[in-house]
Structure 1
Amino acid sequence: METQYAVVPEQLAGQRFDRVLAQLFPDYSRSRLQQWVKSGQVTVDGQQRRVRDSVKAGEQITLVAKLEPCLELEPEAIDLPVVAEDEAIIVIDKPAGLVVHPGAGNHTGTLVNALLYYDPDLECLPRAGIVHRLDKETSGLMVVARTAQAHHHLVEELQQRRVGRAYEAIVVGTPTAGGKVDAPIARHPRDRKRMAVVRDGRPAVSHYRVAERFSSHTRLSVELETGRTHQIRVHMAHIGLPLLGDPVYGRRPVYPKSASDKLRDQLDGFRRQALHACKLRLAHPLTGEQMEWDSERPADMQQLLEALREG
Structure 2
Amino acid sequence: MPPINKLAIQLRAEVPSELGGQRLDQVAAQLFSEHSRSRLSAWIKDGCLTVDGAVLRPRDIVHGGSVLVLEAEQEAQGEWIAQDIELDIVYEDDQLLVLNKPAGLVVHPAAGHQDGTLLNALLHHIPELINVPRAGIVHRLDKDTTGLMVVAKTLQAQTNLVDQLQKRSVSRIYECIVIGVITAGGKIDAPIGRHGQQRQRMAVMEGGKQAISHFRVLERFRSHTHTRVKLETGRTHQIRVHMAHVNFPLVGDPAYGGRFRIPPAASPTMVQALKDFPRQALHARFLELDHPVTGQRMKWESPLPDDFVWLLTLLRQDREAFVG
Same fold (TM over 0.5): yes
Q: Which residue of 2 aligns with 1:152?
A: 159
Are the equivalent residues in 1 in contact too, given 2:92–2:98 (CA < 8 A)? Answer: yes
CA deviations 1:70-93 (Å, max 9, x no partner) are 121111000111111000001010
1:167 to 161, 167, 174: 174
**Structure 2: distance between partners of 1:139 and 1:132:** 13
Check conservation: 1:150, 1:285, Cα contact below 8 A: yes
1:58: which partner in 2?
A: 65
* Residue-by-residue CA offset, 1:186-239 (whole Å, 9 max, x unaligned): 111222211111121111110000000000000001100100000000000000
The reply on whether 1:79 has 2:83 as its aligned counterpart is: no
Distance in structure 1 (CA, Å) of the matches to 2:49 and 2:270: 64
The reply on whether 1:286 has 2:293 as its aligned counterpart is: yes
* Consecutive unaligned residues in structure 2, runs of 5 or more: 1-7, 319-324
SS at match of 1:304: helix
What are the equivalent positions in structure 2 for 1:36-185 lying under 5 Å apart? 36-64=43-71, 66-185=73-192
Q: Which runs of 4+ in 1 moved over 4 A?
A: none
Q: Map 1:240-279; keep pairs closer than 5 Å.
A: 240-279=247-286
Give the % identical residues.
Answer: 55
- Alignment pair present for 1:33 and 2:56: no
Distance 2:119 2:47 in 1: 31
Q: Say yes or no: does 1:238 pair with 2:250.
A: no
Q: By how many angstroms is 1:111 displaced?
A: 0.5
* Equivalent-residue separation in structure 2 for 1:79 and 1:244 (angstroms): 28
Task: State the alpha-carbon separation in 2 of the partners of residues 142 and 194 from structure 1.
Answer: 22
Aligned partners of 2:24 and 2:62 also within 8 Å: yes
Q: What is the TM-score of this pair, normalised by structure 2?
A: 0.93
After TM superposition, the structure 1 stretch with the greater mean CA deviation from structure 2, 21-30 or 111-120, is 21-30
Give per-residue Cα distances to partners, 1:273-307, cap 9 Å, x unaligned.
10000110000011111111110111111111111
Q: Is the 8 A contact 1:214 1:308 kept in 2?
A: yes
Contact residue 9 and residue 74 of structure 2 kept, 8 A: no
1:220 alignment partner in structure 2: 227
Aligned to 1:305: 312
Within 2, Cα distance between the matches of 1:94 and 1:30?
A: 31
User: Equivalent residue for 1:186?
Assistant: 193
Matching residue's letter, 1:23: Q
How far, CA to CA, are the matches of 2:112 and 2:54 in structure 1? 47
Q: In the alignment, is the contact (CA less than 8 A) between 1:247 and 1:271 conserved in 2?
A: no
- 3-state secondary structure, aligned to 2:12: strand
CA contact (8 A) 1:207 1:223 kept: yes
Determine whether 1:203 maps to 2:237: no
Q: CA RMSD in A?
A: 1.3
Q: Distance in 1 between matches of 2:245 and 2:254?
A: 15
SS of the counterpart of 1:67?
strand
TM-score, length of structure 1 as denominator length = 0.96
**SS, match of residue 144 in structure 1:** strand
Which amino acid is 2:189 matched to?
Answer: D
Q: Is the 8 A contact 1:71 1:124 kept in 2?
A: no
After the TM superposition, which of the residue ranges 155-164 and 42-51 deviates more from structure 2?
42-51
AA matched with 1:303: W
CA distance in 2, matches of 1:199, 1:9: 46
Q: Could you say what secondary structure the match of 1:196 adopts?
A: strand
DSSP-derived class of the 1:150 partner: helix
Please state how far the C-alpha of 1:52 moved relative to its aligned partner: 2.8
Structure 1 CA distance for aligned equivalents of residues 210 and 169 of structure 2: 16
The one-letter amino acid of 2:105's match is L
C-alpha separation between the residues in 2 aligned to 1:94 and 1:175? 28
Greater shift, 51-60 or 243-252, is seen at: 51-60
**What CA distance in whole angstroms lies between the structure 1 residues aligned with 2:296 and 2:19?**
30
The aligned amino acid for 2:91 is A
